[in-house]
Amino acid sequence: MKKLIIPEEITITTSTNEIQVKGTEGTLTLKIPSSVKITQEDDSLLVQGKSVKDQALVGTINSLIINMIEGVKKDGGYKKILEVKGAGYRVEEKKQGDKQSLEFSLGYSHQIKLEIPSHLRVKCLKNKIDI
């Protein structure tokens, strides 16, 4: 049993078989097995299993809820920084209207173009790509 602290900007709604996490970046929903009980107290959540066998499931659900909270936080969310290294390797950010793409020069005879999905925010500074 571990209490999960809920940040102020996050709203969590629980029911018997579902938990919903709302934040500035969107809403995420997770179905909860009937053998797991979630109790909400002010600014924390407590996830409990009804039997000893459910304790592994409790740990998994705790991790999923933590990831959901991180995913909907403002300026939080999931982030990855990629660095393109190599002699002559480079990457450029291209915008055409509302479409965004990355153009890679990786030593091939041609440029490699990668379209960026609209729900991702990508910044490119020199050879570092912030996703």
Q: What is the CATH number of the domain that holds 12?
A: 3.90.930.12
Whether the predicted pLDDT of 64 surpasses 70: yes
* Contacts of 74 by beta carbon, 8 Å cutoff, 6+ apart: 9, 23, 24, 25
Length of the chain: 131
- Give tens-digit pLDDT for 30-59: 999 888 888 888 888 888 888 888 888 888
86 shares its domain with 116? yes
pLDDT, position 104: 86
- CA–CA dist 46, 40 (Å, integer): 6
pTM above 0.85, yes or no: no
Q: Are 90 and 58 part of one and the same domain?
A: no
* φ, ψ dihedrals at 40, nearest 5°: -110, 125
- Domain hosting residue 39, numbered range: 3-72
pLDDT in tens, 69-82: 888 887 766 778 88
Instruction: Report the number of distinct structural domains present in the chain.
Output: 2
H-state helical runs in 35-85: 55-72
Statement to judge: residues 95 and 117 lie in one domain: yes
Residue 110: alpha-carbon gap to chain centroid: 33
